[in-house]
Amino acid sequence: MTRPVAVEDVKREVKILKALKGHENIVHFDNAFEDDSYVYIVMELCEGGELLDRILAKKNSRYSEKDAAVVVRQMLKVAAECHLRGLVHRDMKPENFLFKSTKEDSPLKATDFGLSDFIKPGKKFRDIVGSAYYVAPEVLKRRSGPESDVWSIGVITYILLCGRRPFWDKTEDGIFKEVLRNKPDFRKRPWPSISSSAKDFVKKILVKNPRARLTAAQALSHPWVREGGDASEIPVDISVLYNMRQFVKYSRFKQFALRALASTVNEEELADLKDQFDAIDVDKSGSISIEEMRHALAKDLPWRLKGPRVLEIIQAIDSNTDGLVDFKEFVAATLHIHQMAELDSERWGLRCQAAFSKFDLDGDGYITPDELRMVSSDSHCVHVGSSIHTSCHIILFCAFLLMNGELARLNLDETVHIVLCFQLSGSSYSVNEVIPRVCA
C-alpha cells in the first residue's frame, strides 16, 4: 500500500514540473498517469548521462574554466526560474543534472524535483533536506530559502574547477560541521593557476550569510559566468523586485540616505543592476514606465502585486517626479546593502565615508541640522514638515547609522525610537558621540 504522504510528494512534484514546463534547462514534463497502485510520470529522454559522470570522466575530474562556466550558467538559469516562481529545488547536485545527448555541447537539464517545494513570501523552510556535500549553512540552521540553491551551485562550481569538494569529512555530521565552521581552500593546486575572476565568483557564492550571497540572477551577471553568454539570458532578479517593494515602505529619510549611498557606487560595481534595469526597460528608452514596472513585478509569481501597489512603488522610487524610473533612481531602490557590507568591508567603509561627506558640507567631520536642511532642499528628495528640528535629528541619526554600516539593520521606527530615547541635544554631533549610545 502506497503511503498517503508519498502520494502527496509525487503530486507536488508533478505540479512543480508543470509549472516549469518549457524551460530549456529543465527536463521536459509530458504527462502523468495513475492507476490503483502507481503514478507514472512521462518525461523527456536524456541520453547524455549525469553531470557527475562527466566530471569523473575528465582528466583530474576537472573542467576547463570555459566549459565550467557554460555548465554553471545553465544551472543558474534553472535556479533563477525556480525562484521567480516561488520554488526552491533544495537538492541541487551533479547527479540531478542530465545531459540531453552524448555530444560535448549538449544542453544540461535539471531533474528530480522530489525535495522541491513552493515557499511563501517571507517564510523559511525549517527542515533539513538535501545531500550533505551540497547543503547550505542556513539549511542546517533550519532557516533556509531560495539562497540555498545558489550555495549548492557554488559547491558544484568549486568541484568543476578543482576536482575536489570544498567541505569534506568521513561522516555526515563531520561534513555539516565543516560547512558551518570552515571556509573553502583556495591555496592548494590547481587554485593558484585558476583565474581571479573564477575565484571571485566562487567566493561570492560560497558566503555563509545568505543575505550577503549573490542571487542566481546576480551570479548570471558575473563576468566569469557571463563571458560568451548573452545579456538577454539574464532573468529578472527576485531580490531586485523585493528591494523595490521594500523601498516604498521606507521613510523619506531612509530613502534619502540610500540615494546618497547609491551615488558612491561605480559603474563596474553596478553591472548586475544595469543588466536588471535593461531587462525591465523593455523598449530600451533608458527609463522604466509604469507598464514595464508592472510587467516586471508580475514575474515574481508568489507576490502578484495589484495595479495601485505598482503605482505606489513607481512614485516612491521616482525622486524627480517625472513619472518614470531612470537608472540612478533604480540603483538607489535596489542596492544589495548586505552584500556590499560583507563582501568588501574596507570598500564599504570608504563608501559610507563618501556618503557621509554628502551631508557634511563644510568637511569638518560633523553634520548639523542646517547642513541637512540645505542638502534636502537642494535634492528635492526629502520633504521636511513643520517639525523641522525633530526631522533633522532623525536625518542626522540616519546619516550616522549609514556611515557605520548600521542603516541596513534599522528601520525608521527603530531609529526614531532611539533618537527619542537618547534625547539628543545641541547643534552638531559626531559619530563618536552618538554610536556609543546606540551600542550600549
Cβ partners under 8 Å of residue 253, min gap 6: 382, 391, 394, 395, 398, 412, 415
The rounded percent of the chain whose pLDDT value lies above 90 is 55
Task: Judge residue 148's burial from the number of C-beta atoms within 10 Å of its C-beta, 0-12 exposed, 13-18 middle, 19 or more buried.
Answer: buried
Residue 417 has a pLDDT of 42
Asked which of 106-120, 207-221, 249-263 is least confident by mean pLDDT, the reply is 249-263
Question: Would you place residue 3 in the very low, low, confident or very high pLDDT band (cuts 50, 70, 90)?
Answer: low
Residue 382 has a pLDDT of 38
Question: Would you place residue 364 in the very low, low, confident or very high pLDDT band (cuts 50, 70, 90)?
Answer: confident
Contact yes or no for 46/109 (Cβ under 8 A): yes
Range ranked top by mean pLDDT from 214-223, 302-311, 355-364, 367-376: 214-223
Q: Would you list the DSSP string of 17-72?
A: HHHTTT-TTBPPEEEEEE-SS-EEEEE----S-BHHHHHHHSGGG---HHHHHHHH
Residue 35 has a pLDDT of 85
Question: Would you place residue 61 in the very low, low, confident or very high pLDDT band (cuts 50, 70, 90)?
Answer: confident
- Using one digit for the tens of pLDDT, what is the confidence trace for 274-284? 999 999 999 99
Cβ partners under 8 Å of residue 372, min gap 6: 359, 392, 395, 396, 399
How is the chain split into domains, by residue range? 49-233, 237-440
User: Has residue 392 got a pLDDT over 50?
Assistant: no
User: Has residue 93 got a pLDDT over 50?
Assistant: yes
Cβ partners under 8 Å of residue 155, min gap 6: 133, 134, 165, 166, 167, 206
Residue 154 has a pLDDT of 98
User: Has residue 11 got a pLDDT over 90?
Assistant: no
Residue 372 has a pLDDT of 58
Q: Is the dihedral of CA 241, 246, 252, 257 positive or negative?
A: negative
Please give the CATH superfamily to which domain 49-233 belongs: Transferase(Phosphotransferase) domain 1 (1.10.510.10)
Asked which of 22-31, 140-149, 299-308, 412-421 is least confident by mean pLDDT, the reply is 412-421
Please give the CATH superfamily to which domain 237-440 belongs: EF-hand (1.10.238.10)
β-strand 287-288 against 87-88: which pairing, if any? unpaired
Question: Would you place residue 269 in the very low, low, confident or very high pLDDT band (cuts 50, 70, 90)?
Answer: confident
| Alpha helices for 172-234 (secondary structure H) | 172-181, 196-205, 216-220, 223-226
Output the pTM of the full model. Answer: 0.79
Residue range 340-358: mean pLDDT, rounded: 73
User: Has residue 87 got a pLDDT over 90?
Assistant: yes
* Residues that are catalytic: 91
